[in-house]
Structure 1
Amino acid sequence: MVRSKETDEPKPVSMYSFHSWLGVTVFASYVIQFILGFINYAYPKTHIEIRRWFMPGHRLAGNLIFVISVVTVLVGHQRFWCFAYRPDPNGGSECSRTHLCSKRLDLIQNFSTIFILIYAVLVLIVTHVDEWKREETPDEKVHKE
């Protein structure tokens, strides 16, 4: 984007793909959740009952934003693969016909996708196991009563 402003080349088209729409949605959702969470949990005069009522929705929204961000990354991987390795009109690129890609980008692509999925599953497991959730502090227990 910076390069296109400094040269006479035509500027790239923005916001035309599903990947870019997902990215903007994830960013906007994250900002909204951050603001609501900051107001609810950092503001000292918010009543503890309001915080308790807000927490399940806050966790659900956080997990949903995380899942959508993982989907955004995977869609971006797919877009990269489609555009970087599409056959050219003069007989096709070597990578798309024989999968003999230079620097083994095909393997990097596949393994990074697998590791992203493993990471996402592990994060979702960690956030859903009740024994691993944060326990109330003594101060919170006093305010609870």
Structure 2
Amino acid sequence: MASGWFTMSCLALGSLGSMCVLFTAYWMQSWHGGFAWDGSLHMFNWHPVLMVSGMVVLYGAASLVYRLPLSWVGPKLPWKVLHAALHLVAFILTVLGLVAVFEYHNHSRIANLYSLHSWLGITTVILFAGQWLLGFAIFLLPWASLWLRSLLKPIHVFFGASVLSLSISSVISGINEKLFFSLKNGTKPYSSLPSEAVFANSTGLLVVAFGLLVLYVLLASSWKRPEPGILTDRQLLLQLEPGSRPFPVTYMPVSVRQPW
């Protein structure tokens, strides 16, 4: 039952994540003229799409790598590399999203970093960069001691969830800010809830739903990777799946296994 619920959650996450990106792209295409990379308003349109794709959807997917049951058995290094690589791609998309908005502002002589949305967003990006560098240096490179990794693991996990939460907050405030600006001089004000407002608000709710589901999967204790030296029933089932080669169960002391 637990395995089936996990599979359903993954399918829901995939659907919600895809809808978040597609809805954001459709909003920019249908109501704001599409995309370009020339400093114009059409260049700005890349900003929400890239931020949602990188800071929310791909970041959320990267955070759940260690929740996949297949990552619980066998060498951990490939999963560490995948975890770091997905986060790196998410960060690259985020940087491109920042370039899009800064280039548009500079080209149009608009001030940068003046709104609460921009302050919250740039803080989130800085924390994301620090989180990735810490993870790469401590948990991926082999120099760090087990004691140091055990000490920093809770901090790494906390800031991972915090960055995702801040990303969702940044996206929501950004959607609201964009609607206020785009509908300020329109034929229908935001308060009358025109079609663009309905669509953009719905996109925001999709982002919130995706983020909450990611946080739920991250916090569900039954789906967390078991501690070193503890073999769960699910791991045994994975080892004895049809077509797989069962191997002897060995309980190794925690001192010789990597905790993270």
Q: Which TM-score bucket, shorter chain as reference?
A: 0.7 to 0.9
Which residue does 2:39 correspond to in 1?
A: 3
Q: What is the deviation of 1:63?
A: 0.8
**What's the Cα RMSD here?**
2.8
Name the SS for the 1:44 alignment partner.
coil
Which residue does 2:136 correspond to in 1?
A: 38
> C-alpha separation between the residues in 1 aligned to 2:117 and 2:251?
42
Which residue does 1:117 correspond to in 2?
A: 208
Which residue does 1:49 correspond to in 2?
A: 147
Give, as a single letter, the amino acid of the residue that structure 1 aligns with 2:135.
Answer: G
- Pairing of 1:7-22 with structure 2 (within 5 A): 10-22=108-120
Rg: which structure is higher?
1
> C-alpha separation between the residues in 1 aligned to 2:133 and 2:142?
15
Which residue does 1:130 correspond to in 2?
A: 221
> C-alpha separation between the residues in 1 aligned to 2:144 and 2:175?
42
Number of equivalenced pairs = 136
Q: What is the deviation of 1:135?
A: 2.7
Using a 3 Å threshold, how does the CA distance of structure 1 residues 123 and 98 change in structure 2: closer, same or farther?
Answer: closer
- Pairing of 1:54-69 with structure 2 (within 5 A): 54-69=152-167
Superposition TM-score, scaled by structure 2 size: 0.46
User: Which structure would you say has the larger RCO, counting Cα contacts within 8 Å and 6 or more residues apart?
Assistant: 2
Name the SS for the 1:16 alignment partner.
coil
Using a 3 Å threshold, how does the CA distance of structure 1 residues 144 and 19 change in structure 2: closer, same or farther?
Answer: same
Query: Tell me, which stretches of 5 or more residues in structure 2 are unaligned?
Result: 1-36, 41-102, 230-249
How many percent of aligned residue pairs carry the same amino acid? Answer: 24
Q: What is the deviation of 1:140?
A: 10
